[in-house]
Amino acid sequence: MSPRSAHSNRYVIFNADDFGASTGINRGIIEAHTEGVVTSASLLVTGAKCSEAAAMAREHPNLAVGLHWDVWGEDEREFDVGDEGAVRTDVLRQLDEFDRLMGTAPTHVDSHKHAHLDERAFPVVQEVLEPLGVPLRGDGAVAFVGGFYAQWEWQVTELGHVSVDALQAILRDETADGWTEISCHPGYRWPDFSSVYHAEREAELATLTDPAVPRTLEECDLRLASYADWAAVVGSRTCA
């Protein structure tokens, strides 16, 4: 946990989605962690480069790694999030795969394209995760801010939404007391990976590694933290 603003009760987690999707994304996430403000990442156990991502994570133990539950992929494959049995089975399967890759439980859980936020799927995923005691995006344990994203309209890119100015505005205006996650998607374009959100990742990476961002955290009395820190601070209280 960052020593800056040690007295603050306002914690910010920068969480990078899609860890494991490609080598370019993996490298971007690690760079955003070592050179910037990213503290956590969500692993796609279905990703083509998930084993590579797991190996990178082991080399960077301060990066908290959660599960990015994925049922649709980039090609919009068929999956019925209204099928309770299918949801339960698939979440358990991906948790098992996460444990195989990482040798530990995830520090948090979210999902690709927010599949788990479907009102039919959410209570099922929540029930499966209850024994782990980890935050599920949208359950209220950690406030979620998703506005740091360059396509607010489908395939319409506005890089201003992922500029330094935009991120500074989010830090000033959209964080409150307690814990806030700001999701992000840093990465590099890579020849073996196709996505409608690709070049935008490099713009995100440039912002997340800009030295102005840590200064803004300090100015706003925000404490940079990870999901592992959440477990140490909040999880320990819950278990007490």
Let me know: does 15 contact 38? Beta carbons within 8 Å: yes
Own/partner pairs, 167-170, CB within 8 angstroms, 24+ separation:
167/207, 167/208, 167/213, 167/216, 168/212, 168/213, 168/216, 170/145
Measured CA to CA, the distance from residue 233 to residue 31 in angstroms comes to: 26
Read off the pLDDT of residues 104-128 as tens digits, 9 standing for 90 and up.
999 999 998 889 999 999 999 999 9
Give me Rg for the CA atoms of the chain: 17
Note if the pTM is more than 0.85. yes
Q: List the domains of the chain with CATH numbers.
A: 10-239 (3.20.20.370)
Q: What contacts 76, CB < 8 A, 6 or more positions away?
A: none
Let me know: does 204 contact 167? Beta carbons within 8 Å: no
Place of tokens 């358990």: 92
Read off the pLDDT of residues 45-82 as tens digits, 9 standing for 90 and up.
999 999 999 999 999 999 999 999 999 776 567 889 89
Q: What SS3 class is residue 90?
A: helix
Read off the pLDDT of residues 78-95 as tens digits, 9 standing for 90 and up.
889 899 999 999 999 999
Read off the pLDDT of residues 213-236 as tens digits, 9 standing for 90 and up.
999 999 999 999 999 999 999 865
Helix (H) or strand (E) segment spanning residue 145? strand 143-145
